[in-house]
Amino acid sequence: MLFLKHCNKTFLLLLLAVFSLYIQPGFAAGPSSAEYGVVLNLSGKQRMLSQKMSKEVMLVAIGINLDK
C-alpha cells in the first residue's frame, strides 16, 4: 500500500489503460456461441463412437460375436 500512496493519479490511470488494452483482445478473440455448438456436437459424436467401440471390445472379450 505504501507504493500506491506515492504514485500520482496520472500514472495509475495510465497503468489501468495499458492493462485494459492488454486483456481486451483476449475477450474479443474468444469463440462465438455458434463455434461452441460445433465443438459440443463434435465432442458428443466422439463420445458416442468411443462408447460404441468400448461395447464392441467388451462383447468380443466375453466371447459374443454379433457378426453372423
Listed by start position, the domains of the chain span 2-61
C-alpha count within 13 angstroms, C-beta hemisphere, residue 48: 6
pLDDT of residue 11: 73
DSSP letter string over 6-63? HS-HHHHHHHHHHHHHHHHHHHHTSPPHHHHHHHHHHHHHHHHHHHHHHHHHHHHHTT
pLDDT of residue 52: 92
pLDDT of residue 28: 59
pLDDT of residue 68: 60
Predicted TM-score (pTM) of this structure = 0.48
Give every residue of the chain whose pLDDT is below 50, as ranges. none
